[in-house]
Amino acid sequence: MKPVKTEADVQSAAKNAVEALYGKVEGFRIRTLLPFPTEHKAEAWDAQVVFMSKGMQYTVDLLINRDDGQVTNARLIDQMAPL
């Protein structure tokens, strides 16, 4: 996999990971994007993403390595029916 350096790279890597886990998604967007573990020595991106799948809205936290774009952790934060 290629390095993930920009927000556009993160968006692409995150969307690929989410589609692998949840299938076809709609309304995919990055809610927050932070360097991990710190700004001074960032080895990865901590991306919180929001999307719709099968009529439900999901919020998922992803940890994406900068060097190779590999997702090392994916955690479901919230799942709800939209209003």
Query: 36-62 burial, b for 16+ CB within 10 Å, e for fewer?
Result: beeeeeeebbbbbbbbebeeebbebbb
Sheet order of strands, 44-53 included: 26-36, 44-53, 56-65, 71-80
Q: What is the pLDDT of residue 3?
A: 92
Q: What are the tens digits of pLDDT across the range 6-35?
A: 999 999 999 999 999 999 999 999 999 999
The 8-class DSSP code of residue 3 comes to -
- Domain 7-80 CATH assignment equals 3.60.20.10: no
Task: Read off the pTM.
Answer: 0.89
Q: What are the tens digits of pLDDT across the range 64-74?
A: 999 999 999 99
